[in-house]
Amino acid sequence: MQLKPFFSYEQRLKALKGKGIIIDDPMALEFLESVNYYRFSAYLLPFKNKSENLSFSRIRRIYEFDCKLRALIFPVIELLRKTHWLADGMKATDSECDDRMLAINP
């Protein structure tokens, strides 16, 4: 497997400009330094074939909203998952719950 070449944050920002992204956020470089670039760039995919003007700040707001939403939802999902497996009255450990989940969803 060939690894992708290393790009500095400045080069990544330049690549976004090259894709037609309007860099309207004065903190864009600092933001890229603080997040996983490949996760962030996935938020560009829905706009790939659109001709509209797409700004860095718009993608950043979508990214940050998604992060906040996941932070709210995932603990609830985990609680529901554990509650479901414990509903039969058995006291199971986290690893036993995980084993049961894998047995159903390979």
Gap between the Cα atoms of 104 and 54, Å rounded: 42
Domain membership of residue 4 (yes or no) is no
Q: What is the pLDDT of residue 77?
A: 85
Digit-coded pLDDT (tens) for 43-95:
999 988 876 789 999 999 999 999 999 999 988 888 887 776 665 555 555 56
Domain membership of residue 60 (yes or no) is yes
- Supply the range of the domain harboring residue 49: 9-104
Q: What is the pLDDT of residue 51?
A: 67
What are the backbone dihedrals phi and psi of residue 21, each rounded to the nearest 5 degrees, phi first? Answer: -75, 130
Is the pTM higher than 0.75? The answer reads no
Domain membership of residue 79 (yes or no) is yes
Domain membership of residue 100 (yes or no) is yes
Total tally of structural domains belonging to the chain: 1
